[in-house]
Structures are given as structure tokens and as C-alpha cells.
A and B are shown apart, each in its own frame.
Chain A
Amino acid sequence: METKLREGKGSVALRKSEPLRIRTELKAIIYLIPFLVPFAVFYLWPVLRGAWMSLHVWGIQGMEKYVAVANYKKIFANSDFYLYLWHSLYFVLLCAPTVIILGLVLALIINQNIWMRTLIRSVFFLPYVLSVSVISFIWLRLFDAKNGPVNAFLHLIGLPGDINWLTDHRFVWWAITIATDWWTVGFVMVLFLAGLQEIPTDQYEAAKIDGANAWKRFLHITLPGLSKVMKIQIFYQIISSLKLFGQVQIMTGGGPGDTTNTMIRYIYVTGFKKDMFGLASAQSMIFCFIMLLIAVIQFKMTDRKDG
């Protein structure tokens, strides 16, 4: 009886709230419009249009003919696609771990009460405010095989011979990684610093009293304390590494050969250099789907850990 009554009450309340909810929803939409309108015009519409274009042969003169999924078939039949996709993933494997570890180390150092803390923090953060073209040109000069400071420094510490950083298969990815790490490590560091400041100091004090050494304190207090920030960082770094374009375009032009040609540069060349916009749109749709897939997998994995 009692449960029945409660049920009845609940349903009444639900029925009553229905029109109210619609009104609240509507109100929310009105508030969201300043975001939704530009989002739809500058993001959703281009994406939909891209999907539409990907079903056509689309040249420099605009639409030529409808070809259904022929563009997609062509992409999957081309071995270049798999190679450049691998290059993009390879860069994630190189760049994401290095930049996160470096950022964490820097954050830990700067979080200590050291001399000239603000200055050091600024020095490491400064590159992040530069645009990708600026940092690429800086490192293009630095890595110059003949007159570059990097090789000059290596000579100074006694390394014989010149390293052709940007034209040697063995070094070119490292050159790109070093440039990118230098560029973005400041941002990673700042996020970790914010995370470190959230960890209560009494935990460290308690651990010290219990006799935990620095390494154990790091492993059992700092790292778990940073787990939330860490998840965001990994997520962000994977996505931004996948989007690698500016550095390779300027520093290597995808070279030597096509050693550093990434998915984004592949799309760029297909679309803007070869004027095959339909094919390029199809490539973009596929790559977009792959990135979404990676994002979803990551969300699922981190969610499970939280639960």
C-alpha cells in the first residue's frame, strides 16, 4: 500500500514537471545559442559538407561527379594511407610519453623551494606562447647540419662528424620530437604544478614520520594525487600528437622522402597540392573517425579506473 502510494505520488510529480522541464530545456538552449550558432556554422556545417564532398570527385573547379564510396575504397587500397597513419601513431608513441615525463620532472623540480623559481618557470613556459611556425623555423636553424648550433655543441663535447638531423631516417623523428617537446613541455609542466599544489602537505608529513623515503612518497602520494591531471594530460597529448603537421611541414616537408609524412600532411597534400578535394575529404573523415575512436576508448578506460 505504502509503496503504491509512493509510486502514485512520483508519477503525479513527474506528470506535473513535464511542461516545466521543456521550458527549462528551451531556456537552456537560448542561453547556449551564442555558442551553438558559431559552432554550427564554423564546425558542424564544414564537417557535414566535408562528408558530402567525400562522396564526390571534387577538383579545383568544384564538384565533378558523384562516386559514392569510391574515394574511401581508393584510400583503403593505397598502402601510403597505412604508412602515414602509422607515422602519426608513431609520433604519439614518441612524443606523448617524453613530454609528459619531462613536464612532470620539471614540475617536481620547480615545486621545490628553489632559487629563481618564477624565472625558471617562465623560461620553460615561454616557448608555448610561440606559434608552431616560429618554433619550427627556430629548430630548422638549430638542427642545420652544417651551421646549426646543435651540431656545433655536439662537436664541442667531442662527437665526431655531423648528424644530418632533418635528412637522416634515423634522427629525423627525434628532431621533430625534441622540437615539439621543447614547445609544449611548459604547458604540461604548468598543469602538473597546479595538480601538485592540490595534494595536501600533511600527507607528506605523515609519510615522513612513518619513514617513507622520497621515492616512496612520490610513488604513493604524488603520483596518485596527480592521477586526474595525468589522465587529462595523456588525453590531450595523444590528440595533439596525432594532429602533427606544422613541424614536419616546415622542418622536413615530410622528408627525407616520406619518412615524416603524417596523416594531416597527407590530407593537406592531397587537397591543397594535388587539388583532389573529394579524396582529401574522405581521408579527413576516416582520420576524424579514428581520432574519435581513440578518444572513446580512452574515456572508457579512464572511466573504469575511476569506478
Chain B
Amino acid sequence: MKMRKKFTGLLTAGLTLALVMSGCSSGTKDGGTSSSAGTETPKTENTGSSPVEITFWNMFGGGEGDFVDQIIKGYNDSQKEVTVKQLRLESNEYYAKLSTALSSSKGPDVAVAHVDRISPFVKAKQIVPVDELASKVGFDLNQITESNMKSVTYDSKPYAVPLDTHFHMFYYNKDILKKADLLNEDGTPKLGEMTPEGFEKTLADIHAKVPDVQALAVNTPYFQEPFLNLYYEAGGDILNPDMTKAAINNDKALNVLNFYMDLYKNKYSDLNDKTPWDTFHNGKAAFWFGGVWEAGLLLGDQSLNIGAMPLPPIFGSQTHWASSHTLVIPSYVSPEKQEAAVKFMKYFSEVGGKTWGQAGHVPANSNVTASEEYKSLPYRSEFIEAQKTVKFAPPTDKYTTIITTISESLQNIIFGNETPKDGLANMEKQINEVLDN
């Protein structure tokens, strides 16, 4: 009897073990089939009978995503050789996933990447140069605006196809400016003298005449953006020219910080506003340094009575912050699929660019920006003007770390945990540590 009981016990345990083991083995079996499927697909491509299917990763949500959907659908309907399947990832974890995919050689055949993010991929040879591929499918890269092309060039080879340039515009609320007596006949703002003091005076005027709104809504939650815009205007740089040391601890940065601190102190801007973009959209602020991607929302609705112009040269020059969406092809992608991917890039740039321009970003393809179709969109001449003076991030593979360090330090400064002077010194020290590694 006792023997039997023991036997049952062992049997149960054994059974459980078997179940667990089979769970594991089925897992490996799955892995096996998927990898064999991976090697099989190119074979079917070679026959040429069915279209090549490529996977396209991106992080566009909301309004931008709808435009991308349109472009992909347009491409898939326009030809029979290539089918694009997209995988939309959450923007917050996009780069964690993309870099994992690139280093484990499993993932997309073509992917979106910001220009300031491609440097580590180039350094690790995880993405391929696109010039030869482009000439193979008759995609003339000379159509792409020169500054964009330069931003993706490493060792005189382009490693990505730039889709657009995006940056900030100076949006203004005409109703508020009218109340403050600062609107010209043609609907542009009277901005006075282009110095920090002069601009502050304009803001003071608005504050005095329309006290219940913010004169300038400052993007406090992402303060690095308004900071970099004016710091670049002042002629500043994040790093020294050979990108070995921080170049941020200087009077230019200090002046920009003091300027913003002044705005907060004088209540021209509200430090406690956690959603300044909504504040401006709801007509509670006169000025706003907003992204071009907000154009659809802010300029599309006539009743808002909002205008846009390039950022005013408050600190001297017109230079301002910019980034750019690009398309990259991972190195692990088979030659057939690489060719298919570059065909899709060609379409996205030449035809899709027109759709993409509606989203607000300035298309990188100069044929698109020269087209009547694009120019007929509201304020696009201003956008093209502003695009001429953009400054991209320094092409270092440490940029993500550096910009995160800067944005965290800036938060500490504007909320008074550190003086601007100490904050900048601290920032410099941290960036140098990052670069030394």
C-alpha cells in the first residue's frame, strides 16, 4: 500500500516534470521553425512569382501615423513587386526595441530612425550605406536637400534616406496680439527690437495689456528644446568641434538660462504649466515655440486665428534646433529585401513626401517642397525659410545620453534646485564623463 502511494507520488511529479519539459521543448521547436522560415523566404523571392514582403518599423502615432498608413497603402496599391507590412511600436520604447533588433539580427527590413540616433548604428556597422542601392533602383539622392543628406553622411557615405526636417516655429495668437496692439496690418506680429531685452519688452507689453494669458508659453516639461533653440541662436554648441569635450558651460548658455528665468519670474511665462502646448492651443498664450508637426492642429483651424513665422533671432542668429526622420536598412537584411526596401524608400521620398508634408514636417525631397501642391499648404513658405537655418545634433553615438543629461540638469536649474551657473558646470562635468567612457 505504502509502496503504491509512493509510486503515485513519483508518477505525479514525473508527469509535472514532463509537462514542464514539453513546454520548454515546444518553445525550442517554435524557435526552430521560425528560423527555418527565415531562411526559406529568400528562396521564394528568387522565383519572382510572389511579391517580396518587407517589414517596416516606425513609431508614428496619432495624426502622423494616419499619414504613414496612407503612404504605405499607396505604395502597396501602386505596384506588385513589393509588399510593405508595418509594425508600429510605442515611441517611448522604440529605440530600445530597434537597437535590440539590430544587435540580434532579427527585426525590420526597413525602419524609421531619427537622425540623432543613427550614429551608434553606423559605428557598429548595423545599418548599410544607401547610395549604391539607390542608384540600382534609379533613386536619385540628389533630390534630397543638401543639409539633410549631410546629416546622414559618415565617411562620405550616406547611411539613411532623410524623409523630413522638423523643428520649431514661432506661433502667435492674432487675437491676443490685437488686444495688445501688437498686430501689423498684414496679420504679422510687431516684435520690436531683436534682443533679449527688446523681446522681453514686447512680452511685458502683452503681460500689461492682456494679463490673464501667458505672453510666451514655454515648453517647460521639455525645456531642452526651447533652451537649445535660443542657445543655438546665440551661436552655442553642445560639444566642441571634434566632439571630445562639452562646450556648454559658457556665457551664451548662461544668458539664455537667465533670460528664461526672467520670463518665469516676471510671470510672462508660467513655470507650473505642465501642458503649455494646450495652453497655446486654447488661446491662453500669445506666443509659442511649437513644432512644425503641430501645424495641422494650430494652422488648420481658421477660428483659432493663429499665425506662424521662423523663430525670431532674439539672441542674434536665426540658427535653431532641428531633427529629422530618416529611413534605414539593417545590415542583416538579405540583398533581395534590401533592394525592395530601397524601392519603398524611393516611393516614400518622391510620392509619399507630398502626403508627409501635410503632417507639418518639411519634406527632405526638394522636388516635393518645390511643388505647387506643397506650397499651397498654409504658411509653408515660412517653414521652408526656417528650414534653411537649422542645426542638427552633433553626430556622436553618445547623443542620447548627453541630451538626457542636459534635459535633467535643465529641469533642476529652472525649478531652482541649482543656480544656472552651478547647473552648467555640473552639466559640463557629467557630459565629459560620458564622453570619456
Which A residues have a C-beta under 8 Å from some C-beta of B?
Answer: 27, 30-31, 33-34, 37, 57, 59-62, 144-146, 164, 166-169, 253-259, 269, 272-276
- Asked if B404 CB lies within 8 Å of chain A CBs, one says yes
Which residues of chain B are near A164, meaning CB under 8 Å? Answer: 272
The stretch from B255-263, B302-310, B405-413 touching chain A is B405-413
Which residues of chain A are near B22, meaning CB under 8 Å? Answer: none
Q: What are 20 A-B pairs at a CB distance below 8 A? A: A27-B13, A30-B10, A31-B13, A33-B13, A33-B20, A59-B120, A60-B95, A61-B99, A61-B123, A167-B272, A255-B411, A257-B411, A257-B415, A259-B415, A269-B404, A272-B93, A273-B404, A274-B400, A274-B401, A275-B400
Contact A257 B416 (CB under 8 A): yes
- Asked if B1 CB lies within 8 Å of chain A CBs, one says no
Given contacts A27-B10, A34-B20, A62-B103, contact A258 B408 (CB under 8 A): yes
Tell me, rounded to whole Å, the shortest Cβ–Cβ distance linking B31 to chain A. Answer: 15
Tell me, rounded to whole Å, the shortest Cβ–Cβ distance linking B407 to chain A. Answer: 9
Which B residues have a C-beta under 8 Å from some C-beta of A?
Answer: 9-10, 13-14, 16-17, 20, 93, 95-96, 99, 103, 120, 123-124, 126, 221, 271-274, 400-401, 404-405, 408, 411-418, 434, 437
Which residues of chain A are near B95, meaning CB under 8 Å? Answer: 60
Given contacts A33-B17, A34-B20, A167-B274, contact A253 B221 (CB under 8 A): yes
Complex Cα–Cα for A245 and B17 (A): 38
Which residues of chain A are near B10, meaning CB under 8 Å? Answer: 27, 30
Given contacts A257-B411, A257-B415, A272-B96, contact A30 B17 (CB under 8 A): yes
Chain A interface mostly: loop
Which residues of chain A are near B401, meaning CB under 8 Å? Answer: 274-276
Complex Cα–Cα for A259 and B416 (A): 10
Which residues of chain B are near A27, meaning CB under 8 Å? Answer: 9-10, 13
Given contacts A273-B400, A274-B400, contact A257 B20 (CB under 8 A): no
Contact A61 B120 (CB under 8 A): yes
Which residues of chain B are near A166, meaning CB under 8 Å? Answer: 274
Tell me, rounded to whole Å, the shortest Cβ–Cβ distance linking B417 to chain A. Answer: 4
Contact A33 B120 (CB under 8 A): no
Complex Cα–Cα for A146 and B282 (A): 13
Closest 8 CB pairs of A and B: A257-B417, A256-B415, A257-B415, A30-B13, A257-B412, A164-B272, A274-B401, A167-B272
Contact B411 A256 (CB under 8 A): yes
Most central of B10, B99, B274, B404 by chain A CB within 10 Å: B274
Which residues of chain A are near B404, meaning CB under 8 Å? Answer: 269, 273-274
Which residues of chain B are near A31, meaning CB under 8 Å? Answer: 13, 16
Complex Cα–Cα for A144 and B274 (A): 9
Complex Cα–Cα for A258 and B410 (A): 10
Q: Which residue on chain B has the smallest CB distance to residue A59?
A: B120
Contact A258 B412 (CB under 8 A): yes
Which residues of chain B are near A272, meaning CB under 8 Å? Answer: 93, 96
Which residues of chain A are near B20, meaning CB under 8 Å? Answer: 33-34, 37
Complex Cα–Cα for A60 and B416 (A): 33
Which residues of chain B are near A273, meaning CB under 8 Å? Answer: 400, 404
Tell me, rounded to whole Å, the shortest Cβ–Cβ distance linking A2 to chain B. Answer: 33
Contact B437 A255 (CB under 8 A): no
Which residues of chain B are near A61, meaning CB under 8 Å? Answer: 99, 103, 120, 123-124, 126
Complex Cα–Cα for A62 and B404 (A): 20
Q: Which residue on chain B has the smallest CB distance to residue A271?
A: B96
Complex Cα–Cα for A255 and B411 (A): 7
Complex Cα–Cα for A259 and B400 (A): 23
Contact A145 B124 (CB under 8 A): no
Complex Cα–Cα for A30 and B14 (A): 8
Complex Cα–Cα for A37 and B16 (A): 12
